[in-house]
Amino acid sequence: AFRMARPIVESEDFELMIIVVIFVNCISLSLFRPTEPPDSTWNSTLDTLELSLNGVFTLEVLLRCMHVGVRGYFRDRWSQFDFTLVLAGYSGFLGGGGGDLRALRAMRALRPLRTITRFESLRSVVVCLVEAVPLLVSVVGLVLFFAFIFAIAGQQLFMESYHYRCQNPLTGVPETYIDEFGCKPGRTGGIGRSCPAVGRLGGPLECTQLASGRGISVAG
Protein backbone atom coordinates (compact mmCIF):
# COMPACT_ATOMS: atom_id res chain seq x y z
CA ALA A 1 0.00 0.00 0.00
CA PHE A 2 2.87 2.36 0.82
CA ARG A 3 4.57 1.72 -2.52
CA MET A 4 1.31 2.32 -4.37
CA ALA A 5 0.43 5.55 -2.54
CA ARG A 6 3.88 7.14 -2.40
CA PRO A 7 4.28 8.14 -6.08
CA ILE A 8 0.73 9.51 -6.13
CA VAL A 9 0.92 11.56 -2.92
CA GLU A 10 4.38 12.96 -3.68
CA SER A 11 3.38 13.94 -7.22
CA GLU A 12 3.04 17.67 -7.96
CA ASP A 13 0.17 16.90 -10.31
CA PHE A 14 -1.72 15.31 -7.41
CA GLU A 15 -1.30 18.45 -5.28
CA LEU A 16 -2.40 20.64 -8.17
CA MET A 17 -5.47 18.48 -8.73
CA ILE A 18 -6.48 18.74 -5.06
CA ILE A 19 -6.10 22.54 -5.16
CA VAL A 20 -8.31 22.71 -8.27
CA VAL A 21 -10.91 20.49 -6.60
CA ILE A 22 -10.90 22.75 -3.53
CA PHE A 23 -11.56 25.83 -5.65
CA VAL A 24 -14.31 24.05 -7.60
CA ASN A 25 -15.90 23.03 -4.30
CA CYS A 26 -15.78 26.63 -3.05
CA ILE A 27 -17.53 27.81 -6.22
CA SER A 28 -20.22 25.14 -5.85
CA LEU A 29 -20.87 26.22 -2.25
CA SER A 30 -21.29 29.85 -3.34
CA LEU A 31 -23.77 28.89 -6.08
CA PHE A 32 -26.27 27.34 -3.65
CA ARG A 33 -29.69 29.03 -3.85
CA PRO A 34 -31.28 29.27 -0.38
CA THR A 35 -34.49 30.72 -1.87
CA GLU A 36 -35.16 27.45 -3.68
CA PRO A 37 -36.10 24.16 -1.98
CA PRO A 38 -33.22 21.75 -1.33
CA ASP A 39 -34.70 19.23 -3.77
CA SER A 40 -34.83 21.69 -6.67
CA THR A 41 -32.95 20.79 -9.83
CA TRP A 42 -30.26 23.43 -9.25
CA ASN A 43 -29.58 22.62 -5.59
CA SER A 44 -29.80 18.87 -6.20
CA THR A 45 -27.16 19.16 -8.92
CA LEU A 46 -24.90 21.11 -6.57
CA ASP A 47 -25.39 18.49 -3.84
CA THR A 48 -24.40 15.74 -6.27
CA LEU A 49 -21.32 17.72 -7.32
CA GLU A 50 -20.36 18.37 -3.70
CA LEU A 51 -20.73 14.71 -2.81
CA SER A 52 -18.45 13.80 -5.71
CA LEU A 53 -15.86 16.39 -4.69
CA ASN A 54 -15.99 15.26 -1.08
CA GLY A 55 -15.36 11.73 -2.35
CA VAL A 56 -12.15 13.03 -3.94
CA PHE A 57 -11.12 14.54 -0.59
CA THR A 58 -11.88 11.23 1.13
CA LEU A 59 -9.69 9.41 -1.39
CA GLU A 60 -6.93 11.92 -0.68
CA VAL A 61 -7.16 11.21 3.06
CA LEU A 62 -6.96 7.45 2.43
CA LEU A 63 -3.92 7.83 0.17
CA ARG A 64 -2.12 9.99 2.72
CA CYS A 65 -2.92 7.50 5.48
CA MET A 66 -1.47 4.75 3.31
CA HIS A 67 1.61 6.88 2.68
CA VAL A 68 2.54 7.89 6.23
CA GLY A 69 0.31 5.59 8.26
CA VAL A 70 -2.81 6.45 10.23
CA ARG A 71 -0.88 7.59 13.31
CA GLY A 72 1.54 9.59 11.23
CA TYR A 73 -1.32 11.27 9.39
CA PHE A 74 -3.24 12.30 12.51
CA ARG A 75 -0.07 13.40 14.28
CA ASP A 76 0.02 16.46 12.03
CA ARG A 77 -2.34 19.28 13.10
CA TRP A 78 -2.99 20.37 9.51
CA SER A 79 -4.00 16.83 8.61
CA GLN A 80 -6.42 16.81 11.53
CA PHE A 81 -7.91 20.04 10.22
CA ASP A 82 -8.31 18.56 6.73
CA PHE A 83 -9.94 15.42 8.09
CA THR A 84 -12.42 17.46 10.15
CA LEU A 85 -13.50 19.42 7.09
CA VAL A 86 -13.91 16.22 5.08
CA LEU A 87 -16.24 14.82 7.75
CA ALA A 88 -18.13 18.12 7.89
CA GLY A 89 -18.67 17.84 4.14
CA TYR A 90 -20.81 14.73 4.64
CA SER A 91 -22.99 16.45 7.26
CA GLY A 92 -24.97 18.20 4.53
CA PHE A 93 -26.30 14.85 3.34
CA LEU A 94 -27.58 13.74 6.74
CA GLY A 95 -31.25 14.08 7.55
CA GLY A 96 -32.63 16.38 10.24
CA GLY A 97 -31.95 20.00 11.07
CA GLY A 98 -30.81 20.06 14.69
CA GLY A 99 -28.54 22.76 16.03
CA ASP A 100 -25.50 20.47 16.24
CA LEU A 101 -26.02 19.33 12.66
CA ARG A 102 -26.40 22.91 11.41
CA ALA A 103 -23.11 23.78 13.13
CA LEU A 104 -21.40 20.93 11.27
CA ARG A 105 -22.88 22.07 7.99
CA ALA A 106 -21.65 25.60 8.64
CA MET A 107 -18.12 24.20 8.87
CA ARG A 108 -18.29 23.55 5.13
CA ALA A 109 -17.77 27.28 4.70
CA LEU A 110 -14.24 26.72 6.04
CA ARG A 111 -13.41 24.59 3.03
CA PRO A 112 -11.37 27.41 1.36
CA LEU A 113 -9.02 27.29 4.36
CA ARG A 114 -7.80 23.92 3.12
CA THR A 115 -5.68 25.84 0.62
CA ILE A 116 -3.55 26.95 3.59
CA THR A 117 -2.29 23.42 4.07
CA ARG A 118 -1.10 23.33 0.45
CA PHE A 119 1.25 26.33 0.63
CA GLU A 120 4.16 26.53 3.05
CA SER A 121 4.15 30.35 3.02
CA LEU A 122 0.48 30.51 4.06
CA ARG A 123 1.07 28.02 6.85
CA SER A 124 3.97 30.11 8.12
CA VAL A 125 1.77 33.21 8.21
CA VAL A 126 -0.96 31.39 10.14
CA VAL A 127 1.55 30.01 12.64
CA CYS A 128 3.01 33.50 13.18
CA LEU A 129 -0.47 34.94 13.79
CA VAL A 130 -1.28 32.25 16.33
CA GLU A 131 2.02 32.77 18.14
CA ALA A 132 1.42 36.54 18.20
CA VAL A 133 -1.94 36.25 19.98
CA PRO A 134 -0.44 36.49 23.52
CA LEU A 135 1.34 39.70 22.50
CA LEU A 136 -1.84 41.11 20.96
CA VAL A 137 -3.61 40.68 24.29
CA SER A 138 -1.36 43.34 25.79
CA VAL A 139 -2.06 45.67 22.86
CA VAL A 140 -5.82 45.20 23.23
CA GLY A 141 -5.53 45.87 26.96
CA LEU A 142 -3.68 49.13 26.28
CA VAL A 143 -6.31 50.25 23.74
CA LEU A 144 -9.14 49.48 26.19
CA PHE A 145 -7.30 51.40 28.92
CA PHE A 146 -7.06 54.52 26.75
CA ALA A 147 -10.72 54.14 25.73
CA PHE A 148 -11.64 54.04 29.42
CA ILE A 149 -9.59 57.18 30.11
CA PHE A 150 -11.23 59.09 27.25
CA ALA A 151 -14.67 57.89 28.35
CA ILE A 152 -14.07 59.38 31.81
CA ALA A 153 -12.81 62.61 30.22
CA GLY A 154 -15.93 62.80 28.06
CA GLN A 155 -18.16 62.31 31.08
CA GLN A 156 -16.40 65.09 32.95
CA LEU A 157 -16.50 67.53 30.02
CA PHE A 158 -20.05 66.89 28.83
CA MET A 159 -21.84 65.53 31.90
CA GLU A 160 -24.48 68.29 31.80
CA SER A 161 -25.16 67.75 28.11
CA TYR A 162 -26.45 64.26 28.81
CA HIS A 163 -29.65 65.57 30.39
CA TYR A 164 -30.29 68.94 28.73
CA ARG A 165 -31.88 69.70 25.40
CA CYS A 166 -32.96 72.79 23.44
CA GLN A 167 -36.72 73.01 23.99
CA ASN A 168 -39.52 75.49 23.49
CA PRO A 169 -40.45 76.52 27.07
CA LEU A 170 -44.05 77.18 26.00
CA THR A 171 -44.72 73.81 24.36
CA GLY A 172 -41.97 71.62 25.81
CA VAL A 173 -41.20 70.32 22.33
CA PRO A 174 -37.47 69.70 21.71
CA GLU A 175 -35.80 70.94 18.55
CA THR A 176 -34.97 67.42 17.38
CA TYR A 177 -34.26 68.55 13.85
CA ILE A 178 -31.37 70.83 14.90
CA ASP A 179 -29.13 67.91 15.85
CA GLU A 180 -29.01 64.98 18.22
CA PHE A 181 -26.64 66.59 20.74
CA GLY A 182 -27.34 68.18 24.08
CA CYS A 183 -26.74 71.68 25.37
CA LYS A 184 -25.19 73.32 28.41
CA PRO A 185 -27.51 75.40 30.61
CA GLY A 186 -26.51 79.04 31.06
CA ARG A 187 -23.56 78.71 28.69
CA THR A 188 -21.78 81.97 27.99
CA GLY A 189 -18.44 80.48 27.01
CA GLY A 190 -16.19 77.47 27.35
CA ILE A 191 -17.17 73.93 26.47
CA GLY A 192 -20.74 73.05 25.57
CA ARG A 193 -23.44 73.96 23.09
CA SER A 194 -25.74 76.94 23.49
CA CYS A 195 -29.26 77.03 22.09
CA PRO A 196 -30.20 79.52 19.36
CA ALA A 197 -32.51 82.32 20.46
CA VAL A 198 -35.23 81.35 18.01
CA GLY A 199 -36.00 77.90 16.68
CA ARG A 200 -36.98 76.97 13.16
CA LEU A 201 -40.62 76.88 14.20
CA GLY A 202 -40.35 80.49 15.29
CA GLY A 203 -40.61 79.95 19.03
CA PRO A 204 -37.97 80.71 21.67
CA LEU A 205 -35.55 78.03 22.77
CA GLU A 206 -34.08 77.35 26.18
CA CYS A 207 -31.68 74.69 27.46
CA THR A 208 -34.07 72.59 29.55
CA GLN A 209 -33.44 69.46 31.59
CA LEU A 210 -35.05 66.35 30.18
CA ALA A 211 -37.45 64.19 32.14
CA SER A 212 -35.94 61.69 34.57
CA GLY A 213 -34.48 58.66 32.83
CA ARG A 214 -34.28 60.33 29.43
CA GLY A 215 -30.58 60.66 28.78
CA ILE A 216 -29.12 61.50 25.37
CA SER A 217 -25.81 60.77 23.76
CA VAL A 218 -23.16 63.41 23.35
CA ALA A 219 -21.30 61.24 20.87
CA GLY A 220 -24.08 60.89 18.34
Q: What pLDDT, on a 0 to 100 scale, did the predictor assign at position 217?
A: 45
Q: Are 63 and 8 in contact (CB under 8 A)?
A: yes
Distance from CA of residue 135 to its chain's centroid? 22
CA 147 to each of CA 37, 64, 141, 161: distance values in angstroms, whole numbers, following the listed order: 48, 51, 10, 20
Other Cβ atoms less than 10 A from the Cβ of 183: the count is: 22
Instruction: Concatenate the DSSP letters of all residues of the chain into one string.
Output: -HHHHHHHHT-HHHHHHHHHHHHHHHHHHHT--TTS-TTSHHHHHHHHHHHHHHHHHHHHHHHHHHHH-HHHHHHSHHHHHHHHHHHHHHGGGSS---HHHHHHHHGGGGGGGGGGGG-HHHHHHHHHHHHHHHHHHHHHHHHHHHHHHHHHHHHHHHTGGGSEEEE-TTT--B-TTT-S----TT-SSSSS-PPPSB-TTSSB-EEEEPPTT----S--
Sorted by where each starts, the structural domains of the chain and their CATH numbers stand as: 2-118 (1.20.120.350), 159-220 (no CATH)
Tens-digit pLDDT string for the chain (220 aa): 667 788 888 888 888 898 898 889 888 888 888 888 878 899 889 888 988 988 998 999 999 998 888 888 899 888 888 888 888 878 766 655 555 556 666 777 777 777 777 777 777 888 888 888 888 888 899 999 999 999 888 877 766 656 677 777 776 665 554 444 567 666 544 455 677 777 666 667 777 776 654 444 444 3
How far is the C-alpha of 16 from the C-alpha of 130, rounded, in Å?
27
Specify the pTM.
0.55
How far is the C-alpha of 43 from the C-alpha of 190, rounded, in Å?
65
